[in-house]
Amino acid sequence: MTRLPVSLQSLVIQCIALLLAALLNPLLQNPFSDQPALWQLALVQGAIAAGLSFLWRQPAWWPPLHFGFLPTILLALQASVPAWVYLAAFLLLVLFYWSSFRTRVPLYLSDRKAWQAVASLLPETQAFRFIDLGSGLGGVPLYLAPLFSQGLFYGTETAPAPWLISRLRAGFKRSRVRFMRRDYTTLDLADFDVVFAFLSPAAMPDLWRQAQAQMRSGCLFISLSFAVDTRPPDHVVTLAEGARHTLYAWRM
């Protein structure tokens, strides 16, 4: 069950929570008689869904999303939101989270501290090719490219909106960074000397196997926030307190 994509996990959780809430609803009518029946059902369902999400060990932001899902729908219905707003919101989410349901990699944005930490690991004089896997809005390579004139910088992103934004940013800055709209799993990592990733725990095992199979000896693999279980990192850079603010690097 735990190998299901997070999107399917969440669908299962919401359905189970709705069923349990419907079964419990008659028992809760007296203690919560001041609440409308539909809102009572929504709040109970949300609490159950959040608990199931926690037990399933989903990422920390999922339990609040589960709790608020059904109440948010009720609020929107009561507010008589026009139908086109739902369509616009759906299209916007699709453009930014294009294949997250499959890759289990949401849109994470790193900050300047992380970029500076990555810069400290790069060769100062030697020519190299750098790629950011899941480059989002392009912050990492756009920051690094002016600092390393001997480097060639690439980013790859599947979601249309972040990819387009990164391309526009590169054009506005007249940057030499090349952004590709490709799934990183289709790339040959042997083409790069430094591979950087800020993905998710779910994606790391497969990516690590890809890096081991494809990257050349002596090349550098860098991951922000997410380590691998099979090999300790050769370099650890702590950006702030907590594992989510740590940079890990392996010399292949």
pLDDT digits (tens, 9 = 90+) for 72-87: 888 877 777 777 776 7
> Phi and psi dihedrals of 180, rounded to 5?
-110, 145
Per the structure block, which two tokens stand in for 35? 């609440």
Q: On the CB side of 228, how many CA atoms lie within 13 Å of its CA?
A: 23
Work out the widest C-alpha separation in the chain, in whole angstroms.
Answer: 74
Which of 4-8, 151-155, 207-211 is predicted with the least confidence, judged by mean pLDDT? 4-8
Element (H, E) at 197: strand 194-197
Assess whether pLDDT exceeds 80 at residue 54: yes
Mean pLDDT across the stretch 51-62?
Answer: 82
pLDDT value of residue 172: 93
Q: Any idea what DSSP says for residue 243?
A: G
Q: On the CB side of 70, how many CA atoms lie within 13 Å of its CA?
A: 23
pLDDT value of residue 102: 57
Q: What is the CATH number of domain 112-251?
A: 3.40.50.150
pLDDT value of residue 201: 80
pTM over 0.85: no
Q: What is the share, in percent, of the chain residues with pLDDT greater than 90?
A: 44
Most confident listed range (101-115, 178-192, 237-251): 178-192
Q: What torsion, rounded to 10 degrees, do the Cα atoms 196, 107, 172, 143 define?
A: -30
- Hunting for tokens 């756009």 — which residue is that? 142
**What's the pLDDT band for 2 if we cut at 50, 70, 90?**
very low
CA distance 143 to 118: 10
In the chain, CATH 3.40.50.150 covers 112-251
Angle CA 176–203–108, to nearest 5: 55
Q: Give strand ranges (E) for 199-245.
A: 220-224, 235-238
**What's the pLDDT band for 209 if we cut at 50, 70, 90?**
very high
Most confident listed range (54-63, 69-78, 94-103, 191-200): 191-200
pLDDT value of residue 78: 77
**What's the pLDDT band for 93 if we cut at 50, 70, 90?**
low
Q: Any residues with CB less than 8 A from the CB of 164 and at least 6 apart, and which? A: none
Q: Any residues with CB less than 8 A from the CB of 21 and at least 6 apart, and which? A: 41, 44, 45, 48
| SS3 category, 38 | helix
**What's the pLDDT band for 179 if we cut at 50, 70, 90?**
very high
From residue 137, give the alpha-carbon distance in Å to each of 142, 155, 179.
9, 10, 10
